[in-house]
Amino acid sequence: MGGTAARRDGPWIAFAVLAVTQFTVVLDASVVYVALPSIQRELSLSPTGVAWVMDAYILAFGGTMMLGGRAGDLLGRRRVLFLGLAWFGIASLACGLSTEAWHILAARAAQGLGAAFIAPTALALVTDTFPEGPSRYRALGIFGGIGGFGGAAGTALGGLLTAVGWQWAFLVNIPVVVAVLVAGARLLPARPPAATGGVDLVGALTGTGGLCLLLLALLRGGVHGWGAPMVALELAGAAVLLVSFTVRQATAKTPLIPRLLFGMRGVVLGNAVNIVAGALLFGVFLILTLHLQLVRGYSPLASALWTMPISLCLLLGSNLVTAVFGRITPVGALTVAMLVHVCGLVWWASSLGSDGPIVTSFVLPGAVWALGCGAALVAAFVVCTSGVAGPAMGAASGLVSTTLQVGGALGVVLLSMLAHRDEPAEAGRRIEALTSGQSGALWGAAVTAAVGVVFTLWLRTAGRAPEPAGTTSRTP
């Protein structure tokens, strides 16, 4: 049985299955960036249609993750994980076989829905696999780092796969999903549901609807302008639904997000920093891709190779931060990571150019930023889940996954707007304007990272959830 195998092989073998799952889901959110021009050309997509290849996934993923986390608590996390994986694999096949524009848009939305049930349940299963203590927090750190590396590596892997055919950006998921399902059936223990009661249907509808409308407004606002009547209507609708969701969570008998989470400063402020980290992860990697292909003129494959050192530094940062948890609190590590964010982005923004040495003007400052980014993603995961256990864990996992994706949508929209704010019609000035806009976008990212530093300092002074066992006792 699964439980027996997990005990015999040790928790880290089961964790490897969950880590591969996390990597695959996060990778799929970013691997399509490099493939978009090929998809547009072969499926005759309009510029708006091309944007929706990304947006359909983000909307479904970010909008329904809280519901996915709660479903895992109520129905059993392993069961929901397997159902989500099967759905995700079928949707990936549909993406790869798409021959019409509407085929790929519908399939991408289906992929996002499957991912929304995978991500929070996989994170909750990590906490089920490890007892409270240093091993759990090391596992959470590695898990968060893998998620960040998956988002970063997506641009690199996308270049390699697109060189073969854009369809492989999706079809590559299928053997991975099959392998995870087979290994998971043997290695992941089957446990009873962690919570009882039903799903707060009103909360699910208002929360999911509000998030989807908010993400839709952000995505459309970046294309059509914030003054567009439809965008204003979507923002107003999102505000009404999210306020209704908040009121419902305060009064419902079985709220979608357990009320105890709102009383934990580490969870609340940690998720605020997580929004910033998500905005920087997805937004900056978008700028990176645009710069290499549109300004430097590199092919998708060459762009992938120049991106690789930055992606590896992101993974290195995530590993370094797990090693220091015994000497510094997770909140302290998060503060340092956000400061490194700021330093790397300031260096990058001030040195970016169209014809400067790519190593000193692009790769090295990008590597410093990536070290801070990887460390921040891990520390934020640990901070957001510290002191949470039992029935609330799935909801907390869904919340941290949701804030990362909402932050990612914000970052993509806002940094993309900054990068294209001065793009001229005449081709002669296009490279100059793009470089200026991308540098401005990185300055905007540096300011955003500074806001994250403020949140971490507030978290240190306000207090937080109990530290992980095994960390040195000190003031956070």
Mean pLDDT of 330-339: 90
Residues 332 and 220 both lie in one domain: no
pLDDT on residue 132: 63
First to last CA, the chain: 43
**Residue 387 phi, psi dihedral angles, 5° rounding:** 80, 5
DSSP character for 378?
H
pLDDT digits (tens, 9 = 90+) for 88-113: 999 999 999 999 988 999 999 999 99
> Cβ of 8: how many Cβ atoms within 10 Å?
9
* Separation of alpha carbons 103 and 97, rounded Å: 9
What CA–CA distance (Å, rounded) separates 14 from 21? 11
List the structure tokens of 15: 């964790």
Give the C-alpha separation, 55 to 318, whole Å: 27
Does 237 lie in the same domain as 103?
A: no
Element (H, E) at 36: helix 32-43
Q: Same structural domain for residues 143 and 210?
A: no
Asked if 222 and 323 sit in the same domain, the reply is no
Single out the residue in 235, 253, 271 at which a domain terminates: 253
Residue among 398, 407, 385, 399 at smallest CA distance from 452:
407
The parent domain of residue 362 ranges over 2-199+254-462
Task: Give the span between the Cα atoms of 3 and 286, in whole angstroms.
Answer: 42
For residue 285, what are the CA distances in angstroms to 30, 155, 183, 369, 438? 9, 8, 32, 11, 11
Q: Is residue 312 part of a domain?
A: yes
DSSP 8-state class, residue 373: H
Under the banding of pLDDT at 50, 70 and 90, the label for residue 472 is: very low
Q: What percent of the chain has pLDDT over 90?
A: 20
Burial label for 475, CB within 10 Å (0-12, 13-18, 19+), is exposed
- How many structural domains are present in the chain? 2
pLDDT digits (tens, 9 = 90+) for 45-101: 876 677 678 778 877 887 787 788 778 878 888 999 999 999 999 999 999 999 998
pLDDT of residue 228: 84
Label residue 192 exposed, middle or buried (CB < 10 Å: 0-12, 13-18, 19+): exposed
* 354-376 pLDDT tens trace: 777 888 889 999 999 999 988 89
Shared domain for 368 and 293, answered yes or no, is yes
- 198-201 long-range contacts (CB < 8 A, ≥24 apart) are 198/74, 198/254, 199/67, 199/70, 199/71, 199/74, 199/254, 199/256, 200/70, 200/248, 200/252, 200/254, 200/255, 200/256
* Model pLDDT for residues 373-419, shown as the tens digit of each residue: 888 988 888 888 777 766 666 677 777 877 887 787 778 778 877 87
Query: In 279-293, which positions are buried (b, 16+ CB within 10 angstroms) versus exposed (e)?
Result: bbbbbbbbbbbbbbb
pLDDT greater than 50 at residue 157: yes
CATH number at residue 102: 1.20.1250.20
CA 375 – CA 328 distance, rounded (Å):
13
**Domain match, 177 and 224 both:** no
Q: Are residues 132 and 42 in the same domain?
A: yes
Q: Are residues 141 and 173 in the same domain?
A: yes
247 & 261 share domain:
no
Which residue spans within 217-375 are E strands per DSSP? none
What are the tens digits of pLDDT across the range 410-450?
Answer: 787 788 778 776 655 444 567 777 888 888 889 999 999 99
Please tell me whether residues 83 and 228 are part of one structural domain. no
Query: Is residue 464 predicted with pLDDT exceeding 60?
Result: no
Quick check: is 472 in a domain?
Answer: no
Q: Is residue 167's pLDDT more than 80?
A: yes
In a domain, 467, yes or no: no
What six digits make up the tokens of 234? Answer: 């979507």
- State the pTM of this model: 0.74
